[in-house]
């Protein structure tokens, strides 16, 4: 009975306010990312935070009809994607919704258009579309974006990182996690990291190139 009453009250208030007013107030609400944990491993070795190097699959769907617009499982030969979390390498909604995830965890993340592809849309995503991502995280690699990590990686202390130096660091990270990998695996990661960070293409990541916090201070 109470539910019925409150519902009719709500309808009554809506009709009083009129649709225009409701729309205006909806626009004033800050856009929010909704996350739903689909699977969480019992053991959580590492929780993702800003600046971590993440390896994950993410499939994207339009909320309105559930149609799929992106699938990292089939795109780029189906390799999970590497990116640094929280710094604008993925859409803002994923930077927010993928915080505090464990390796092995799966989430459904619903992102309003303001934090996804906005008023323009992109490719198959129409303008002003709310999108839903199903993400699965494989690797959370701690703090490659801290100065401390840079100094640890920079073995010869010349304030520049070669592929060999970055690879050595990642190798240790994976071994710590009990998952040593083979050569081709690292080659792929190295290519990806250098494509994204070695802006002048000289084969080294300088301190300046490494500093990607600059474009997105939270």
Minimum CB distance to Ca ion, residue 216 (Å): 20
199 class by beta-carbon count within 10 Å (0-12 exposed, 13-18 middle, 19+ buried): exposed
Cα of first residue to Cα of last residue in the chain, in angstroms, is 46
DSSP letters along 147-181, please? Answer: HHHHHHH-TT-SSEE-HHHHHHHHHHHHHHTT---
Q: Which residue has the tokens 């617009």?
A: 69
Minimum CB distance to Ca ion, residue 191 (Å): 14
Choose between 64 and 208: whose C-beta lies nearer to Ca ion. 208
Q: Which residue has the tokens 């991502």?
A: 133
Choose between 130 and 162: whose C-beta lies nearer to Ca ion. 162
Choose between 116 and 161: whose C-beta lies nearer to Ca ion. 161
DSSP state of 200: T
DSSP state of 207: H
Choose between 158 and 216: whose C-beta lies nearer to Ca ion. 158
DSSP letters along 41-52, please? Answer: -S--S----TT-
Minimum CB distance to Ca ion, residue 153 (Å): 8
Choose between 58 and 169: whose C-beta lies nearer to Ca ion. 169
Sites of contact with Ca ion (CB under 5 A): 154, 156, 158, 160, 198, 200, 202, 204
Report the Cα 63 to chain-centroid distance in Å: 18
């Amino acid at each position: 009975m109470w539910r019925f009453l409150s519902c009719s009250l709500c309808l009554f208030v809506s009709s009083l306010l009129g649709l225009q007013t409701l729309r205006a107030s909806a626009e004033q609400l800050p856009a929010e990312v909704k996350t739903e944990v689909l699977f969480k491993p019992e053991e959580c070795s590492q929780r993702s935070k800003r600046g971590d190097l993440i390896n994950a699959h993410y499939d994207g769907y339009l909320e309105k009809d559930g149609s799929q617009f992106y699938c990292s499982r089939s795109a780029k030969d189906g390799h999970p994607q590497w990116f640094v979390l929280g710094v604008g390498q993925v859409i803002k909604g994923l930077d927010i919704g993928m915080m505090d995830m464990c390796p092995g965890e799966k989430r459904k993340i619903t992102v309003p258009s303001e934090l996804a592809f906005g008023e323009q849309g992109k490719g198959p995503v129409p303008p002003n579309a709310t999108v839903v991502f199903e993400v699965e995280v494989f690797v959370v690699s701690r703090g490659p974006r801290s100065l401390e990590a840079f100094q640890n990686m920079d073995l010869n202390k010349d304030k520049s990182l070669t592929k060999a130096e970055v690879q050595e660091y990642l190798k240790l990270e994976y071994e710590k996690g009990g998952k040593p990998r083979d050569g081709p695996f690292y080659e792929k990661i190295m290519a990806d990291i250098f494509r994204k960070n070695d802006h002048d293409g000289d084969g080294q990541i300088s301190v300046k190139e490494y500093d990607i916090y600059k474009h997105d201070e939270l």
